[in-house]
Amino acid sequence: MEARGRVEPGFAPVVEAFTDNFTHHGEVGAAVCVYRHGRPVVDIWGGLADRQQDRPWSEDTATLVFSSTKGITAICANLLAERGLLDLDAPIASYWPEFAAEGKAGVTVRWALSHRAGVPAVDAHLTLEQVLGWDAVVAAIAGQRPEWEPGTAHGYHARTFGWIAGEVVRRITEQTFGGFLANEVVAPLSLDFWVGLPEAEEARVATIYPPVPPADPKVRQAIEAFMGPGTLLGRVLSGPSGLFGYNDMWNRRELHAAEMPSSNGIGTARALARAYAAVIGEVDGVRVLAPATVAAASQVQADGPDRVLGVATRFGTGFALPPMLGAGLSRTAFGHPGAGGSLGFADPDAGVSFGYVMNQMKLGVSGDERTAGLIKALYRCL
């Protein structure tokens, strides 16, 4: 596989790590982009967007980034806070009164953004159409009893994070989350990123390939025990009524068109890197968040054992924090990984932002060897 794109002098190790992912780590199609001090220094892509059709990954190929979407959602929430339209420490119910049901009246926006709201799973029996239609699923979350006392612990809100944050954005702005994102972040930066993909862009989207199951039956059994449908993690990841597993559903048009601010963002590596670059500095004259907002949003809000994932996690106000993003990043880094391997982050100390997207998913809750190699190579160049 030959990488295509643009690379500044001194960043050749990133290209080597990228091609190594195809040779040694089962990559099908992917792209990686790095900005430094507000300008792109690496912007490359390669492989296949669809291997059945032998469709090459091109410069404008976009793909589903799963929970890397959460970082973009966090940017939007913190932008509203910076504008004085959202009080992060106010109860969610002050914007969305129905959310107060079943003991959730005191749950703050910040708790929800740092996975402390206590409602990581949606237990309602909903059809796919209801979930993708928004209103039914947010009503179910509003009426649900917490799994634990809110604010006392944290656990990864894999899907509910986006519906809660998105409904708060909708109540404040009277726009859908995807509309607010498009108007206030995407348009000023000319990003190829959507939550709610227009039909005209569908042909650009790469086909997602689910993780390859482990060959060892004992390993499969261990995974089932860890994240099977009877576990809290299984309930969280599968979504309402077990609708969302790692299956071909993620390649369907109706899922791309819906708005799931936790997990169905579709975009390019360039879009992720450029968005984070504009969070920590100016990009072509545009800066999205002020330095004080960034500093506050990247302060630790939740740290330690995760009630859902069963491992230690660390979150700021909407952003995942090191070591969740990979080894070698500074303490000021923030961003979000996505299921299967995608990643977007900014590291203000290093002056870099990073976006990686791919279509071959891999199992794991604690990093991916593909991003690990890319990050290691990048920091050797700085």
Q: Looking at the 3D structure of the chain, how many domains does it have? A: 1
Q: What is the pLDDT of residue 237?
A: 82
Q: What is the pLDDT of residue 366?
A: 61
Sign of CA dihedral 19, 25, 28, 32: negative
Band (pLDDT 50/70/90 cuts) for residue 226 is: low
Band (pLDDT 50/70/90 cuts) for residue 111 is: very high
33 has which bridge partners?
43, 355
Q: What is the pTM of this model?
A: 0.96
Band (pLDDT 50/70/90 cuts) for residue 216 is: confident
**pLDDT at residue 222 tops 70:** no
**pLDDT at residue 363 tops 80:** no
**pLDDT at residue 231 tops 90:** no
Q: What is the pLDDT of residue 244?
A: 77
Overall average pLDDT of the 80-95 stretch? 98
> Considering the domain boundaries, does residue 155 fall inside one?
yes
Range scoring the smallest mean pLDDT among 18-32, 49-63, 138-152, 235-249: 235-249
**pLDDT at residue 105 tops 80:** yes
Cis peptide before 305 (omega within 30 of 0): no
With beta carbons less than 8 A apart as the criterion, state whether 276 and 346 touch.
yes
Alpha-carbon gap, residue 66 to 21, rounded angstroms: 20
Q: What is the pLDDT of residue 227?
A: 65
Overall average pLDDT of the 65-82 stretch? 98
**pLDDT at residue 381 tops 90:** yes
Amino acid at site 124 = A
Q: Is 298 one of the catalytic residues?
A: no
Q: What is the pLDDT of residue 365?
A: 60
Q: What is the pLDDT of residue 66?
A: 95
Overall average pLDDT of the 251-264 stretch? 97
Q: What is the CATH number of the domain that holds 131?
A: 3.40.710.10
> Considering the domain boundaries, does residue 38 fall inside one?
no
Q: Are β-strands 63-64 and 352-358 bridged in parallel, bridged antiparallel, or unpaired?
A: unpaired
Active-site residue identified among 67, 114, 262, 353: 67
With beta carbons less than 8 A apart as the criterion, state whether 373 and 319 touch.
no
> Considering the domain boundaries, does residue 53 fall inside one?
no
Domain with 160 in it: 68-339
> Considering the domain boundaries, does residue 2 fall inside one?
no
118: left (phi over 0), alpha (psi -120 to 50) or beta: left
> Considering the domain boundaries, does residue 95 fall inside one?
yes
Segment 187-202, tens digit of pLDDT? 999 999 999 999 999 9
> Considering the domain boundaries, does residue 256 fall inside one?
yes
> Considering the domain boundaries, does residue 222 fall inside one?
yes
What percentage of the chain has pLDDT greater than the value 90?
Answer: 85
Band (pLDDT 50/70/90 cuts) for residue 264 is: very high
> Considering the domain boundaries, does residue 284 fall inside one?
yes
Band (pLDDT 50/70/90 cuts) for residue 238 is: confident
**pLDDT at residue 121 tops 70:** yes
358 has which bridge partners?
30
Segment 124-175, tens digit of pLDDT? 999 999 999 999 999 999 999 999 999 999 999 999 999 999 999 999 999 9
**pLDDT at residue 225 tops 70:** no
Smallest CA-to-CA distance from 195 within 266, 121, 124, 251 is with: 266
